[in-house]
């Protein structure tokens, strides 16, 4: 399988803090790559670099033959890379349905003029967007909560809504930043099943960051382990579990 994303020697420094140090890895098409490591090891910083929120000091990320370093976040999103946030960044004043419809922003074609005049093609598109949003909400198990304000939803539901938005964005690469954080084992299990289902059904590639070892080991195809900004190991889940360095630093 060809690699869809190539990460070459990313260096992200904040003054004297080397948050990410010469990190290289790759993502194959259709695979689920897990990134694990202690808190502060640079996992989320790496995601921020990949999605254009931070500009690294050096390094490249090749996607579809282009280096996406230096592109703005909305340009990278347009190319087909989406992400969720560790601490949730929902549109709190909107309902869950509106959140998911907004997440399909890339797919919305109607011009401003068309929407102002309320012409048929615009109305049809809005209807299609709403139907698709309802399907996605049903997929993540939130079909009863379509008209609930995002801010007032339970934490587990908010996590699922965050995931629903990534699905709606119709991305080719989804980066999930701690999708199971704060969930109990039943909810985490549901999340794992949803991630595997979406990978199969929509044939997307996923980068998954989490702390929950059971969750990671049973979901991903390959793991990258980070510590203090550097990659200390890479391989299959079983190989990582036996890796002495990883056990010393993390699994211990």
Pick the piece of the chain touching another protein (CB under 8 A) from 61-69, 101-109, 137-145, 215-223: 101-109
Residues 13-52 that bind another protein (CB under 8 A): 51-52
Q: Rounded distance, CA 59 to CA 104, Å?
A: 31
- CA torsion angle 56 84 177 27 (round to 10): -70
Instruction: Give the x/- contact pattern for another protein in 110-139, rule: CB under 8 A.
Output: x-x--xxxx---x---x-------------
In the complex, minimum distance from the CB of residue 149 to another protein, in angstroms, rounded to a whole number: 7
CB count in 10 Å sphere of residue 10: 26
Burial 106-133 (b: 16+ CB within 10 A, else e): beeeeeeeeeeeeeeebeebeeebbebb
Of 103 and 216, CB closest to another protein = 103
Residues 6+ apart with CB under 8 A from 132: 104, 168
In the complex, minimum distance from the CB of residue 155 to another protein, in angstroms, rounded to a whole number: 15
Of 53 and 239, CB closest to another protein = 53
Query: Which residues here bind another protein, judged by CB under 8 A?
Result: 51-53, 72-74, 77-78, 82-83, 85, 89-94, 98, 101-103, 105-106, 108, 110, 112, 115-118, 122, 126, 149, 151, 165, 169
């Amino acid at each position: 399988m060809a690699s869809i994303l190539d990460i070459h020697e990313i260096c992200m420094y904040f003054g004297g803090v080397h948050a990410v140090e010469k990190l290289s890895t790759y993502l194959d098409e259709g695979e689920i790559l897990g990134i694990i490591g202690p808190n502060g090891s640079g996992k989320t910083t790496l995601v921020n670099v990949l999605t254009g929120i931070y500009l690294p000091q050096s390094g490249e990320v090749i996607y579809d033959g282009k280096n996406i370093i230096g592109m703005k976040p909305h340009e990278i999103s347009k190319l087909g890379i989406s992400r969720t946030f560790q601490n949730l960044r929902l549109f709190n004043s909107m309902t869950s349905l509106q959140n998911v419809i907004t997440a399909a922003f890339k797919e919305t074609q109607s011009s401003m003029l068309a929407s102002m005049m309320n012409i048929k093609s615009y109305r049809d598109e809005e209807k299609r967007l709403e139907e698709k949003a309802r399907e996605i909400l049903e997929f993540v198990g939130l079909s009863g909560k379509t008209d609930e304000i995002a801010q007032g939803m339970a934490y587990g539901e908010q996590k699922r809504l965050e995931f629903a938005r990534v699905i709606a964005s119709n991305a080719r690469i989804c980066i999930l930043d701690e999708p199971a954080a704060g969930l109990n084992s039943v909810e985490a299990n549901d999340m794992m099943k949803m991630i595997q289902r979406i990978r199969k059904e929509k044939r997307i590639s996923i980068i998954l960051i989490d702390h929950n070892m059971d969750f990671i080991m049973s979901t991903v195809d390959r793991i990258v382990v980070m510590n203090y900004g550097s990659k200390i190991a890479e391989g299959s889940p079983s190989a990582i579990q036996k890796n002495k360095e990883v056990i010393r630093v993390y699994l211990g």
